[in-house]
Each structure stands twice: as structure tokens, then as C-alpha cells.
Amino acid sequence: MSIFEAIVIAIVEGLTEFLPISSTGHMIITSSILHISSDPFTKLFEVAIQFGAILSVVVLYWKKFFPLNRFNFYLKLIVAVIPALALGTLFSDRIDALLESSLTVSVTMLAGGFILLFIDRLFKQPAIEKEESISFRKAITIGVWQCLAMIPGTSRSAASIIGGMQQKLTRNLAAEFSFFLAVPTMAAATGYKLLKAWKENPELLQNKENLIALGTGNVVAFIVALLAIKFFIGFLQKHGFRLFGWYRVIVGAVLLALVLAGYLK
């Protein structure tokens, strides 16, 4: 993987990680378009650069994460991340296999798009406006919803936001809690991938070019994600999810046509 390719994929990650349009799906398609081989380092890179993206959440919402005496806040995140940790550990190999499927991405992009077109109508009467009012039961329920994102193209952000709105959170709070939940979820996924790579294929993390690509990718993902989160919250307050739904439907339809025509694997 060249530095240019690393930067392009990191920009895609930063732009899409916190929008309900699937960062994994976009990175898979981007890698396919750039003809980047689906080798062990590419798979590691696409997960590891999420670390840069989650740092943007900590920076933007630092008052939520610091000081460290907000016991209930951290406990809610721990409870909510348990389903993803459990299923991710049990089905890691199957999830990795799905990451190579453009067909899976195109279908889930379409399905998620249709849901987002109507989500604002489905959940019209939110009752929870503050994070402090989210119960532990609601937190773990949102965490279960988040597990749908293990299917590439679903979008971790979309799944957890829909889960939050289904639990009566306002769409802004659902989006923010999705951001908060991303921190332990993606930190765990990144740590697991790095540890697994170190044990099974340590040369990946001993290669100077790979380390430069990872470092560059995380910095770029951090900067782009900062801008993307600010845009998303502002846009969401005014316009809701409909535009993201149409985007997913259009992109999903185009991708499906390209897959069926044999242009994408």
C-alpha cells in the first residue's frame, strides 16, 4: 500500500465513519476501485485507522470524557459495547470473510438507505434528550442494534442511531451516543486486530512502510473525522436522515449494477 492509497482510504474513513453510510463499505469499494489487493495489511489498515477517527470524538466531546469521575457514563458505554465484543470475538473469521464482498456491501447499502428514508417518520415522539436519562437497559439495547454493523455496508453509526431512536432518544442524542459508543467499540476492534497481527504476522508491524502508512492514515482520519462530525450534527438538526437515505439507495444501486456486471468483485 502506497502513502497515496493510505491517505485516500483514510479520507474515506474519516468522512464516513460517523455518518450513517457505512465506512467499511466505502473503504471496501475504494480499495476495489484503487485495485489494492485484499492482503493481511490492507485488512489491518482498514480497521486500525479507526483509532484516529475515535480520537476525534474524544477531542470534540472532551467534557463528556473528562474528568474521569463520571462513573455512570463510562459504565453505560461498557454495558453497551459488550454485545459487539462478544459477537466480534465469536465470529471474527466470518466477519473478515464478509469484508471481501462487494455484493454484501451493495445490498446492505440499499436496505439501510430505505430504512433511513422513513426513520424520521417511524420515531416521531422522542422522550429522552439528555445522556444522563439513558438507562442501562436502553444502553445495552442500543449496543445490540450496533451489532448489525458487523455486516459490511450496514454502518455502525446507522445501526446504533436507529437503535437509539427506537429507544426514544432524540435524533441528535442518538447520534451523539453513537459517537460515544464508537470509542470503546472501535478501540477494542483496533486493539484486537493489532494484537492478532502481532501474534500471527508480526512482520506486518515491523515493516517501516506499513508503520508510516498506519501513522499517516490515523492522522488523516482524525482530521477529516473532526470536520465530518461537526457537519453531521449541524445537518441533522436541520434536515434529518432523508438525504443520507437517498445517498445510500443511489450508491447501493450503482454498486449492485457494477457487481452484477462484473466490474466489482
For residue 231, tell me if it sits in a domain: yes
Task: Quickly count helices (H) and strands (E) in the chain.
Answer: 13, 0
Domain count of the fold of the chain = 1
Structural domain boundaries, residue 128 = 3-260
For residue 265, tell me if it sits in a domain: no
For residue 186, tell me if it sits in a domain: yes
How far apart are the C-alpha atoms of 99 and 40, rounded to whole Å? 12
- What digits encode the pLDDT tens for the residues 36-54? 877 888 888 988 998 999 9
Model confidence, pTM = 0.86
- What digits encode the pLDDT tens for the residues 144-183? 999 998 888 888 899 999 999 999 999 899 999 999 999 9
For residue 123, tell me if it sits in a domain: yes
For residue 144, tell me if it sits in a domain: yes
How far apart are the C-alpha atoms of 180 and 111, rounded to whole Å? 25
- What digits encode the pLDDT tens for the residues 93-140? 677 666 667 788 888 999 999 999 988 888 878 889 999 999 999 999
Among residues 213, 157, 197, which one has the least CA distance to residue 180?
157
Q: Judge residue 63's burial from the number of C-beta atoms within 10 Å of its C-beta, 0-12 exposed, 13-18 middle, 19 or more buried.
A: exposed
Write the DSSP string, 221-252: HHHHHHHHHHHHHHHHHHHTTHHHHHHHHHHH
